[in-house]
Amino acid sequence: MRPLSRGFLLAAMSAAVLSPAAPAVPTVAEAQAFMEKVESTMMRLSEEAGRASWVQATYITYDTEILAAQATEKSISANVAFAKEAKRFDGLKMPADLARKFKLLKTSFTLPTPAGPALSEELTKIVTGMESVYGKGKYCPPDAESDPGKCIDLQEITRIMANSRDAKQLLDVWTGWRTISPPMRKDYQRFVELSNLGARELGFADTGAMWRSKYDMPPDAFARELDRLWEQVRPLYVSLHAYVRNRLREKYGDSVVPARGPIPAHLLGNPWAQSWDNIYPLVAPKDGDPGYDLTEILKSRNTDPLQMVRYGERFFTSLGFAPLPKTFWERSLFTKPQDREVVCHASAWDVDNVDDLRIKMCIEINEEDFATIHHELGHNFYQRAYNRQPFLFRDSANDGFHEAVGDTVSLSVTPEYLKKIGLLKDVPPASKDIGLLLRRALEKVAFLPFGLLIDQWRWKVFNGEITPDRYNQSWWELRRKYQGVAAPVARSEQDFDPGAKYHVPANVPYTRYFLAHILQFQFHRALAQAAGCKDPLHRCSIYANGEAGKRLRDMLAMGLSRPWPEALEALTGQKQMDATAIMDYFAPLKKWLDEQNAGKPVGW
């Protein structure tokens, strides 16, 4: 992932130094001059904000947190001020590129603060406060009153849910984590009111409509597009769901897991049941061992963190990309320092929007981090590919593309690729593929409905379809509808379970992750075809293929300069997102799942 959304990184000058009021009928020349000033100022202040954020993430102190927070607040308010100033050019006929910049300026942030310093400050404080409540959240069991050391944070809860197979313990920590969110409920309601006010001042129906407007199509059309994509992939998810439910019944019994209906959310290996790969040992097929252990191979070779990153860089240079700049190796954070606190969550950075590329990771020598490095470098090579575009075009074609590019590269980390780079002597036989595919489906396919429903809930909250007295009820209705997952204990409107997922209190849009999970397979299929791969799609790797590399480089260089359907066409030949690539990739698994589910309940 990237560290912050564009809205938080784009910085601009304050309203006090905006251009003087334009004549009643502005000209194209004035619009061009305004935009040049906007872009040059945003470029400069974006770099300042990026450096403040980098220092805060790699040197966590009281002061660096304040400095980063100040840069964030300035960025939000200034972006809104610029967008409102730009409204005076509404209706002016201008060149297509310039018109696109004005459109992007209005949708480049996610928190539209309303006019007036009091309301703007109130909204910013609410969001900052909710994020702080989440970040400090801990579950304190009843016996923690006498021993506060028994309180556990999200990191520990996540570890327990990934590894424990004790249904009572899983229920305890699942419920416990959700005690942190009810205090946010009133603040979230006020946040919706203020955010919608700011969105309407910018000309949008509500905040959700503003978010959807950045996808080069009418907001309602974009919502229908998501439904279409979900219906394409839903049969595969339903088969996976039925298989997992049956295997969990074998483990926990009928009293915990019903034969029909939704799966209890606390049993799926994750605090939010958003991905299920942690329960692979419970559901693995016979002979599911892939025949090698990449973690052990890397450790046996005494691979160090820098060598792990070099493997990733060589993947991209094999496709024709230039090596990473020297400064990347000098300024990145590869290992956890012993002398200070840092944010270890992996992220890719483009600090100056040109070539000050970095990654921030506390690399461990294992298979997961090997794939993560390939993913993060996908962001970096994308960032550099579009660095000659005007500032407002220095981003991915839509926010799903950036995540998708990194994941597309990770899909090429196949046994065939590992053999080519000397980490495997022999590629496992096809008989091992079901285990590999099932593990990947538990990560990728299981995520899809969750990636969709987060913003389905928020959009309905923003437009008033979901009222505050139905926040929690509607949340679980959507989770059942899309995921076939249910709360393991009764929930009420005294709870605020949406707030137990970071992206809700932090106001981070989530549809990008659903899109990324669709696009990465569409990208992978197109690049594999360009590379001439004749193997099953899940065995294809584009490593060292010049044609696939050229097609990828050409698309990345477009940045945000053109509507995303044109960028998609440049890479795949299609102008429409297409989830059939997922069905192609997992076709052998779908056949196997349906065989396992024969004669058993399917659906919920």
Is residue 500 within 8 A of residue 178, CB to CB? The reply is yes
User: Which of 118-140 are b and which e, b meaning 16 or more Cβ less than 10 Å from the residue's Cβ?
Assistant: eebeebbebbeebbebbeebbbe
The candidate with the shortest Cα–Cα distance to 378, out of 357, 409, 421, 336, is 409
The candidate with the shortest Cα–Cα distance to 435, out of 280, 539, 297, is 280
* Residues facing residue 359 across a β-bridge: 348
The distance in angstroms from the start CA to the end CA of the chain is 33
DSSP single-letter state for residue 321: P
Phi, psi of 197 (to 5 degrees): -60, -45
Q: Residue 558: how many CA atoms within 13 Å on its side-chain side?
A: 21
Is residue 106 within 8 A of residue 79, CB to CB? The reply is no
Is residue 456 within 8 A of residue 482, CB to CB? The reply is yes
* Residues facing residue 348 across a β-bridge: 359
* E strands present in 24-157: 138-139, 152-153
The Cα–Cα gap between 426 and 440 comes to: 21
Is residue 396 within 8 A of residue 519, CB to CB? The reply is no
Is residue 553 within 8 A of residue 319, CB to CB? The reply is yes
The candidate with the shortest Cα–Cα distance to 544, out of 535, 532, 554, is 532
| Residues involved in catalysis | 345-346, 375-376, 379, 403, 503, 513
Residue type, 183: P
The candidate with the shortest Cα–Cα distance to 359, out of 384, 372, 377, is 377
The Cα–Cα gap between 267 and 270 comes to: 8
Is residue 133 within 8 A of residue 180, CB to CB? The reply is yes
Is residue 480 within 8 A of residue 213, CB to CB? The reply is no
Hey, what are 425's tokens?
């002597």
98 CB burial (10 A radius; 0-12, 13-18, 19+) = middle
